[in-house]
Amino acid sequence: MAMTFFSASIEQFLDFITLGGPVVAILMAVSAIALAVILLKLGQFANRQVGNGGAARKAASFWLGGRPREAFEAARKSRAVSAQAVAEAIRLAGDRNAAKADIEDRIAALAMTRFHELQSGFRLLDAIAQVAPLLGLFGTVLGMINAFQQLQAAGNSVDPSILAGGIWVALLTTAAGLAVAMPVSMVLTWLETRIEAERVLVQTLTTDILGLPSIVPAASASDVGFRRGEAAIAH
């Protein structure tokens, strides 16, 4: 029963591609690429805990409460970009010789590198979302040209069903292009929103931490293990 259903689905899919022509085949290939990129980005976002600012907020709360050791440990254990930025801010804030501007530059560089990694593939998804409807429209135009050619070839014995059938097949490519573009555009918007929320969280929490550097004793950098944690933050 399952094999019969699978065979019927494959047959319908092939018929759909045959009706739509090469444009639909291209759109199917593009949709497969988009799906692969989306799944890869979702896995990467889950691994990096994008949008999950619990560890960063907890660390900032410890820091503002005068508990730098707990703050650094809470941030260092998380793989979230916001937590890594907070851990770096805490580590650098314990260095009395570091200027605030230099600390901000270091944190900005770290966050920019991490966000650049997370945004890889976004341009491809954006290109697919923009090109897919155009491909569909291109297929529709080609289908309409073919339909009118058949209508012209029919001469005086014009059958309206010939024109109607040609238009139906032509519009199929537009529908396929929109079906590819709309979900890709929605997923891309969601991914960008998650990154923007993470970016705002990094800016807010690091500003709070650097606003109170005096609560960290001069020897805290070694006591808390900030230097040991530097390599962990970098990776």
CB count, 10 Å around CB of 124? Answer: 14
| Predicted local confidence at residue 41, as pLDDT | 94
| Predicted local confidence at residue 77, as pLDDT | 82
pLDDT tens per residue across all 235 residues of the chain: 555 545 555 555 555 556 667 888 889 899 999 999 999 999 999 888 887 788 888 888 888 888 888 888 888 888 888 888 888 888 877 666 667 777 778 888 888 888 888 999 999 999 999 999 999 998 888 888 877 777 777 666 666 666 666 677 778 888 889 999 999 999 999 999 999 988 888 888 888 787 765 444 433 444 444 444 444 444 4
Structure-block tokens of residue 112? 């920019």
HSE, side-chain direction, 13 A CA sphere, residue 180: 31
Find the largest Cα–Cα distance for the chain: 96
| Predicted local confidence at residue 96, as pLDDT | 62
Whole-number Å distance between alpha carbons of 21 and 9: 18
Entry pTM: 0.75
| Predicted local confidence at residue 218, as pLDDT | 37
| Predicted local confidence at residue 12, as pLDDT | 55
